[in-house]
Amino acid sequence: MQNIKLQLHKELENYIDSKAEFSPYYPGMCILTSNLYKEQLKEILKLLEEENMSNAKSFELYLDTVIINMQTKVKKYKQSIYFDDENIKDIENQGCSIPFYIDEKKKVYVLLGLLNTKVE
């Protein structure tokens, strides 16, 4: 748990200090993804694909839906358990937690990670 917290805090620091490039979730969207998020997504999808390809595709589709709609539901998400900051919230989805940062100045949301809470 401590290692995961450190990774998430490093991603947030990289974003705030502009030390790393954060790409849009989809082109033109105001949702950005960290490298940690992308790596963790690949790992989770790989595990799911080993079990059942259909479940992996279903998970990814549902995840897309949740993330694309997060802007309209941001108030329903609770403050992240990984940070002591009201601008960082967690999306709980199918055994995963997605900590995201709300950058009010730039009007963007930054996906910091994708944690498999079933394993942790």
| pLDDT tens digit sequence for 100-114 | 999 999 999 999 999
8 A C-beta contact, residue 34 and residue 110? yes
- Look at the chain and report how many structural domains it folds into: 1
Domain that holds residue 64: 2-116
> pTM for the complete prediction?
0.91
Q: Are 76 and 67 in contact (CB under 8 A)?
A: no
In degrees, to the nearest 5, what angle opens at C-alpha 77 toward C-alphas 35 and 71? Answer: 65
Contacts for 98 with CB less than 8 Å, ≥ 6 apart? 37, 67, 90, 91, 111, 112, 113, 114, 115
Q: Which of 42, 32, 31, 39 is nearest to 7 (CA)?
A: 39
Mean pLDDT, rounded, for 34-61 = 92
CATH number, residue 31 = 3.30.2310.20
**Percentage of the residues of the chain whose pLDDT score is greater than 70:** 97
**Residue 93 has what pLDDT?**
82
Single-letter residue type at 80: S
What's the pLDDT at 87? Answer: 96
Cα–Cα distance for residue pair 91/80, rounded to 1 Å: 9
